[in-house]
């Protein structure tokens, strides 16, 4: 919105998107590429190409590929959105609320992409794995556990159920789970999540 008439750093003249906008564009395409190929499969050069910018500009903004990744992965599921909703749930419906909330987030490709990016990347890249560990232990499931008094081991079992579902439904796209409706999955999984969280 508020863009410098002329980009400040090391950019040529002309009517181009401002730095903020360009930065966001790079992050958006990086999320898609990391989601599709994982950390190791997405090169800084490919990110720059997909964003329509020079690789030097990506370097300029983020230092290196790891820098892009860390920024792109920030808040793949915003705990500030998910957490209050899950925690507002009656205790005996925690399982249902969790699966419904996740399915809703995943149902939106734009919100699903950074989660898939983190998941795919974490399988082979230690930096991504560390981010995902933190997400599980601290940012989201750990906080659900803390706030509800559910043991961490139980909260992680629930996290594992969600991770496995995401892989079967969106990565492997195994049928029939890939095409199951949200209601079918809630019916299927809410009771087991409730056992962990109840």
Q: Which residues bind a second copy (CB under 8 A)?
A: 37-38, 40-41, 119-120, 122-124, 129, 132-133, 136-137, 152-154, 156-157, 159-165, 167-168, 171-177, 180, 184, 188-189, 191-192, 195-196
CB of 2: closest distance to a second copy in angstroms? 30
Tokens describing residue 136:
């599980």
The residue (of 6 and 133) whose beta carbon lies closer to a second copy is 133
Q: Using CB atoms within 10 Å of the CB of residue 66, give its burial: 0 to 12 exposed, 13 to 18 middle, 19+ buried.
A: middle
The residue (of 20 and 124) whose beta carbon lies closer to a second copy is 124
Q: Cα 177 from chain centroid?
A: 21
CA 4 to CA 15: how far, in whole Å?
Answer: 11
Give the N- to C-terminal CA distance of the chain in Å, as an integer.
Answer: 46
Nearest to 185 by CA among 170, 163, 165: 165
CB of 81: closest distance to a second copy in angstroms? 22
CB of 84: closest distance to a second copy in angstroms? 24
CB of 193: closest distance to a second copy in angstroms? 8
């Amino acid at each position: 919105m508020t863009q410098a008439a002329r980009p400040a750093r090391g950019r040529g003249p002309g009517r181009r998107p401002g730095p903020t906008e360009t930065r966001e564009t790079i992050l958006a395409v990086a999320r898609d590429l990391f989601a599709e190929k994982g950390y190791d499969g997405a090169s800084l050069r490919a990110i720059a190409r997909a964003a329509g910018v020079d690789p030097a500009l990506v370097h300029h903004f983020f230092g290196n590929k790891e820098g892009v990744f860390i920024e792109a992965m920030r808040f793949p599921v915003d705990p500030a959105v998910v957490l209050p909703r899950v925690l507002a749930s009656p205790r005996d419906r925690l399982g249902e609320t969790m699966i419904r909330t996740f399915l809703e987030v995943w149902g939106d490709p734009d919100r699903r992409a950074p989660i898939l990016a983190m998941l795919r990347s974490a399988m082979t890249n230690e930096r991504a794995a560390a981010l995902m560990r933190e997400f599980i232990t601290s940012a989201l499931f750990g906080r659900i556990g803390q706030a509800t008094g559910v043991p961490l081991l139980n909260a992680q079992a629930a996290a594992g159920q969600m991770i496995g579902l995401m892989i079967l439904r969106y990565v492997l796209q195994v049928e029939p789970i890939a095409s199951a409706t949200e209601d079918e999955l809630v019916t299927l999984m809410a009771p087991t999540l409730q056992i962990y969280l109840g």
